[in-house]
Amino acid sequence: MSALVRSEGLVLRTRAFRESSKIATVLTRRTGRVDLLARGARKPGSRFGAGLEIGTEGEFIYYERENKSLWTLSSADILRSHQGLRENPETLTLLARIMKLLAHLSQPGQTNPGLYNLTLSVLNAMEEGNSSLYDLYLWRVAAASGYPPRIGEGCMVCGDKNASGFSVTQGGFLCSRHSKDHNDLIRLSIEERRLLNLLTDVPPAECKVSIPSLVSKLIRRYAHYYLHADERLIPPVTRP
């Protein structure tokens, strides 16, 4: 018996398979990350059309082949193509990076609605013209993956208001007394700290701020550390 599944999903990557087919890796709402065999998808006029372009949000119908990790794709209907992001080299690079990171973070059979919804809201906001959301995304992905930073008032140990140093390994701000044993402190101004707070919960579509490079560095170091993502997945900040 094979079970038919209908689920929304995001196309993370595709690869050619045999002469005319494709295997698409899709992050689905219902069954986590799945590899879907799309028969004939590389033939002209294939019924899958543009539904398997990277970054496409679609509704997928697929069925499980017993004892196989590969599922068979029956149909792919586009819900939002995100074509606008693929037409511009800068946003295409961001889109590809985000899809690669999602492939790294997701597992077959494991769903993460918070991460899925966050990704959609960031892609939609990017398509509306706000392309500076990559660092916001990384900051929120870490939280959605179970590693929320402790950035409330004061030192994360004693609550002392004079805590300007953020420790990536401790995951929060520390006062001078509690930061003695940590040599990874990044010192932020009050404005930079406010910005980190803002990035934690502002709706992506409403985030119009530019992010200073020190804050970008902190976010990327945090994401590297907690998401086990190296520089191929999350590039370092190159701005001065």
Using CB under 5 A as the binding rule, whether residue 8 contacts Zn ion is answered as: no
User: Of the candidates 4, 16, 50, 158, which one interacts with Zn ion according to CB under 5 A?
Assistant: 158
User: Of the candidates 160, 202, 207, 225, which one interacts with Zn ion according to CB under 5 A?
Assistant: 160
Using CB under 5 A as the binding rule, whether residue 156 contacts Zn ion is answered as: no
Least separation in angstroms between residue 154's CB and Zn ion is 8
Using CB under 5 A as the binding rule, whether residue 221 contacts Zn ion is answered as: no
- Residues 171-210 touching Zn ion, rule: CB under 5 A, are 175, 178
Q: Which is nearer to Zn ion, 46 or 179 (CB)?
A: 179
Distances (CA, A) of 235 to 44, 145, 220: 36, 19, 8
Using CB under 5 A as the binding rule, whether residue 92 contacts Zn ion is answered as: no
Least separation in angstroms between residue 185's CB and Zn ion is 12
- The answer to whether the beta carbons of residues 7 and 59 sit under 8 Å apart is yes
Least separation in angstroms between residue 168's CB and Zn ion is 17
The answer for residues whose C-beta is within 8 angstroms of residue 188's C-beta and 6 or more apart is 164, 165, 166, 196, 214, 215, 218
Using CB under 5 A as the binding rule, whether residue 155 contacts Zn ion is answered as: yes
- Contact residues: Zn ion, CB under 5 A: 155, 157-158, 160, 175, 178
